[in-house]
Chain A
Amino acid sequence: MSQIVFEGRPVPFHPGQSIGAALTAAGIRSWRTTRSGGRPRGLYCGIGVCFDCLITVNGRPSLRACMVEAREGDVVEGGGRDA
């Protein structure tokens, strides 16, 4: 099975799956914290509207995890530019 690397640990994905779906399927439900209050955030709407699931992929910050298709070997870190 294909893999991405989330904060140093391998996470499997099915071809066509979004990074957000792959993380959630692996039991990783949050990957950033809120600006005020530090509360955990992951998938919320899951369809690209809410911008809650921001993530950094291969160095590109502030992408929506629910909208980015997972690719073999992607290096994924939680949060966006303001994390």
Chain B
Amino acid sequence: MVIVGGGVVGAACAYYAARAGLTVTVVERGAVAGGTTGAGEGNLLVSDKEPGPELDLAVLSSARWAELAAEDGLGAAVEYEPKGGLVVAETEEGAAGLAGLAARQRASGVEAVEVPAAELTGYEPHLAPDLAGGMFYPQDAQVQPMLAAAHLLRASGAEVRTGVTVTGMSRSGARVTGVRTDRGDLAAGAVVNAAGTWGGEVAALAGVNVPILPRRGFILVTEPLPPLIRHKVYAAEYVANVASDDEGLESSAVVEGTPAGTILIGATRERVGFDRTLSTAALRRLARQAIRLFPVLADVAAIRAYCGFRPYCPDHLPVIGPDPRAEGLLHACGHEGAGIGLAAATGHLIAQSLTGARPDFDLHPFRPDRFPEQP
């Protein structure tokens, strides 16, 4: 089989497919993790999702990541940190909203521990003293996303061909039988579209419509510091931002330390196409919001920023599974800002689809033909 895309989703598909006994070649136009994977924070979050199919997938994926991390050396290699997430509210109203969300999420298998205002600094000593309360999510975790993609690919034993662009699909009647590339054709029993934000273009090569669009995000990086922030900490407004349909600049601080010593401050959301222009307005807002949560950061230098493009579908759900319009083609893309977290379950379910095993998850909400055909 051929997987198009060497990001974390393609890598997870390669890993699980190879483990199921398939022979895998990964074709990547740029470098491994060179697209959205390399522009993320490495969030494995269950806390930021409303109940529904995406949360169910996140809960499954959280368990799969824990299994992966327990495999020989892999957890340390990808900097897996089951550190938990702490969501904080600035107002009583916000805290009540968090409590309501947590109650709904618990029915989906999410663990959530209410943290009264007075106990917040027990979790995070440097938090602002005037917050109204919070919710702790022990299942939230973190990986270094580039290392995750690279190590999953290495562990898969797949042949990885970087710098190779897919230019078309080979067909036998309606069936997809491989890919055409700028370095020759590759025959395959199945082709998996794991091209992330560019998944719509790959789908179009097979003549099918999968509408995926870019949603830009900036991340601000501080100078390396001694350990200061223990968990993934974010403001309650983040959940509303993730689910929002607004086109303009939105941001809510997600703050976390990394094993390298830097602190990552995400994340903005904007629909501006593939524009990479640095936005100082966006970075200023991120910095202000992070300082609101952690006043100690006011005195810390930001040393760089980076941006990337989340792949989003109109209904904000990923596209996972076989395409009934093009036999032999499967999709594993459109995970928006949750691709690192959802990668493990996505790879697992794609491998089940490929081997004809009964999937242990209903893929219907993620089916690729759920969108209206383009006129």
Interface residues of A (CB under 8 A from B): 35-36, 51, 54, 62, 80-82
Which residues in A have their C-beta under 8 angstroms from that of B303? 51
Report whether B223 and A80 are in contact in the complex, using a CB–CB cutoff of 8 Å.
Answer: yes
Asked whether any CB of chain A lies closer than 8 Å to the CB of B96, the reply is no
**Bound-state Cα–Cα, A36 to B301, Å:** 21
Given the known inter-chain contacts A51-B303, A62-B301, please indicate yes or no for A81 contacting B260, CB distance below 8 A. Answer: no
Asked whether any CB of chain A lies closer than 8 Å to the CB of B97, the reply is no
**Interface class of chain B by DSSP:** loop
**Bound-state Cα–Cα, A62 to B225, Å:** 9
Report whether A62 and B223 are in contact in the complex, using a CB–CB cutoff of 8 Å.
Answer: yes
Q: Chain B residue with minimal CB distance to A48?
A: B303
Asked whether any CB of chain A lies closer than 8 Å to the CB of B261, the reply is yes
Minimum CB–CB distance from B259 to chain A (whole Å) comes to 8
Asked whether any CB of chain A lies closer than 8 Å to the CB of B226, the reply is yes
**Bound-state Cα–Cα, A36 to B224, Å:** 12
Minimum CB–CB distance from B234 to chain A (whole Å) comes to 23
Q: Chain B residue with minimal CB distance to A49?
A: B304
**Bound-state Cα–Cα, A49 to B286, Å:** 21
**Bound-state Cα–Cα, A80 to B225, Å:** 8
Report whether B260 and A35 are in contact in the complex, using a CB–CB cutoff of 8 Å.
Answer: yes
Q: Mark B240-265, 1 if CB is under 8 A from A, else 0.
A: 00000000000000000001110000
**Bound-state Cα–Cα, A80 to B223, Å:** 9
Interface residues of B (CB under 8 A from A): 223-226, 259-261, 301, 303-304
List 7 A-B pairs, minimum CB-CB distance, nearest first: A62-B223, A82-B224, A82-B226, A82-B261, A51-B303, A81-B225, A35-B261
Which residues in A have their C-beta under 8 angstroms from that of B225? 81-82
Report whether B261 and A51 are in contact in the complex, using a CB–CB cutoff of 8 Å.
Answer: no
**Bound-state Cα–Cα, A36 to B144, Å:** 16
Minimum CB–CB distance from A3 to chain B (whole Å) comes to 27
**Bound-state Cα–Cα, A51 to B225, Å:** 13
Report whether A54 and B260 are in contact in the complex, using a CB–CB cutoff of 8 Å.
Answer: no
Which residues in B have their C-beta under 8 angstroms from that of A54? 223-224
Minimum CB–CB distance from B178 to chain A (whole Å) comes to 42
Minimum CB–CB distance from B230 to chain A (whole Å) comes to 16
Which residues in B have their C-beta under 8 angstroms from that of A51? 223-224, 303-304
Minimum CB–CB distance from A43 to chain B (whole Å) comes to 16
**Bound-state Cα–Cα, A74 to B226, Å:** 25
Which residues in A have their C-beta under 8 angstroms from that of B224? 35, 51, 54, 62, 80-82
Q: List 21 A-B contacts (CB under 8 A).
A: A35-B224, A35-B260, A35-B261, A36-B259, A51-B223, A51-B224, A51-B304, A54-B223, A54-B224, A62-B223, A62-B224, A62-B301, A80-B223, A80-B224, A81-B223, A81-B224, A81-B225, A81-B226, A82-B224, A82-B225, A82-B261
**Bound-state Cα–Cα, A81 to B297, Å:** 13
Which residues in B have their C-beta under 8 angstroms from that of A81? 223-226
**Bound-state Cα–Cα, A53 to B228, Å:** 22
Q: Chain A residue with minimal CB distance to B260?
A: A35
**Bound-state Cα–Cα, A54 to B225, Å:** 12
Minimum CB–CB distance from A39 to chain B (whole Å) comes to 14
